[in-house]
Amino acid sequence: MSPVYPSLSELGAALAEGPDALKRRAGLVAAMAAHEQDGVDCSACSGVCCTFVANSMQTTPLETYDLLVWLQAQQRIDADLVAHLKETVRRYRLDAPDPGDGRRSFVRRTYTCPFFKRDKLGCTISRQAKPYGCLGFNPFKAGQVEGGECRSQIDLLERREAEFAAREVVADQVLRRGLALDWEKKPMPVALLEFIDKLALAD
């Protein structure tokens, strides 16, 4: 008999006491907005940071859950999305171990984000659901076209993590138990596919 996993709404009820997705991202979103007001944004950039050239984003169970809830609200979880995620995993070998010597990984595998639209030059995910690492990676000079003067705002990311660490640890534990997950982070397409499969969201 196949295991019976909770529904997305049941998971939401179990996580309801913690801060919501937008609150956990508020500081990072505010920093992005401040840069944009100063004319320092990604509007002229090719989006290289979202491609296999630079992107190796991994998500925790909670980040994956946030993204999944948003995608479902937008009615974007369907067979086409699943096929696109699977093709991303296959093309960039995201389900294979990261290169290493058996004791540790030397580098993460990179991939072009399945939610990056080259024709629109941008991400199709709302800031309320983006992974923290995406929100914390920004330009520091105006007029970037190939991501040359961009970097992670480590101080902001660390402050955000410190503020919400205790409650996020509990939330991740709830998700790991509820969905029988054996990982702390996975490449985002791999993590999403596992959630979609276990919650039968694309059936």
| Gap between the Cα atoms of 160 and 97, Å rounded | 29
| Gap between the Cα atoms of 179 and 195, Å rounded | 8
Q: Is 187 helix (H, G, I), strand (E, B) or coil?
A: strand
Supply the DSSP string of 70-108, one letter for each residue. HHHHTT--SHHHHHHHHHHHHHHTTTSPPSBSSSSBSSP
The per-residue pLDDT for range 158-177, each reduced to its tens digit, is 999 999 999 999 999 999 99
Report yes or no on 55 lying in a domain.
yes
Report yes or no on 203 lying in a domain.
no
Predicted local distance difference test score (pLDDT) of residue 74: 96
The per-residue pLDDT for range 55-84, each reduced to its tens digit, is 999 999 999 999 999 999 999 999 999 999
pLDDT-based confidence at residue 193 (cuts at 50, 70, 90): very high
Report yes or no on 13 lying in a domain.
yes
Alpha helices in the chain (DSSP H): 8-15, 21-37, 61-73, 79-92, 132-135, 154-179, 188-198
pLDDT-based confidence at residue 145 (cuts at 50, 70, 90): confident
Report yes or no on 3 lying in a domain.
no
Domain count, the chain: 1
Contacts of 146 (CB under 8 A, 6+ apart): 45, 46, 48
- pLDDT of residue 20 exceeding 70, the answer is yes
Which secondary-structure segment (H or E) carries 122?
strand 122-123
Report yes or no on 93 lying in a domain.
yes
Mean pLDDT of the chain: 91
Mean pLDDT, residues 144-165: 91
Hey, what amino acid is at 72? Q
Report yes or no on 85 lying in a domain.
yes
Report yes or no on 2 lying in a domain.
no
Report yes or no on 169 lying in a domain.
yes
For residues 180 and 3, the answer to whether their CB atoms sit within 8 Å is yes
Q: Is 164 helix (H, G, I), strand (E, B) or coil?
A: helix
Predicted local distance difference test score (pLDDT) of residue 117: 87
Give the residue numbers spanning the domain of 170.
8-198
The per-residue pLDDT for range 124-139, each reduced to its tens digit, is 999 999 999 999 998 8
